Amino acid sequence: MKSIVLYSTRTGNTKKVAEAIASALPAGTPCVSVKEVPADIASYDCVFIGFWVDRGSADKDSQETMKQLHNKHVAVFATLGADPKSPHAAESLDKGAAFLPEGVQVAGKFICQGAVDPKLIEMMYKQFPAGHPHGKSPERDALHAEAAKHPDAADLEQAKQFAANVMAAIANA
């Protein structure tokens, strides 16, 4: 079983999760940015593809890569600023995974929280008035403070478990 981990990242959160996933796969499993997808990507039996959530979907770079993944087994993971148990998280993960070609069955999905770029928070607080869902409020401050701690050791452990579960499900299929 030849596997590879691909990830898209702006500020490093999704890369950390990708590296945790790769560490749970056989030694030597490549872990590379979507900007360096190997030319022989079609020769991999299993691809883990990771994106950062951009306005409720997958970021642009990962969208382009996902569209090209016709591999037998594809598992999807992501990081986002919001609560990973929220409907927004589940919807963003599904919306992102929908960029895979038709007929590709998703072998597993995983999402966890990731620190939001402080520059983006500042921009949103300037752009949106208090009271707006993206404007400054105690709730938004609390959300960003929580996100700033992620991905943490527990998230990375869950990511490893996710990888192990995907591989076990494929082996038992």
Ligand X SMILES: Cc1cc2nc3c(=O)[nH]c(=O)nc-3n(C[C@H](O)[C@H](O)[C@H](O)COP(=O)(O)O)c2cc1C
Report whether 47 contacts 106 (CB < 8 A). Answer: no
By CB under 6 A, tell whether 5 contacts ligand X.
no
Contact between 97 and ligand X per CB under 6 A: no
Question: Counting Cβ atoms within 10 Å, is residue 142 exposed (0-12), middle (13-18) or buried (19+)?
Answer: exposed
56 forms part of the interface with ligand X (CB under 6 A): yes
The pattern of x and - marking residues 113 through 142 that bind ligand X according to CB under 6 A reads: -xxxx--x----------------------
Q: Does 53 bind ligand X (CB under 6 A)?
A: yes
Query: Is 159 near ligand X (CB under 6 A)?
Result: no
Q: Is 84 in the site for ligand X (CB under 6 A)?
A: no
Told to check if 62 binds ligand X by CB under 6 A, we report no
In the bound state, the residue with its beta carbon closest to ligand X is 114
Look at residue 136 and give its three-state secondary structure.
Answer: coil
Q: Is 130 exposed, middle or buried (0-12, 13-18, 19+ CB in 10 A)?
A: exposed
- Contact residue for ligand X among 34, 48, 58, 81 (CB under 6 A): 81
56: left (phi over 0), alpha (psi -120 to 50) or beta: left
Q: Are 3 and 27 in contact (CB under 8 A)?
A: no
Q: What residue ranges bind ligand X (CB under 6 A)?
A: 9-14, 52-56, 79-82, 114-117, 120
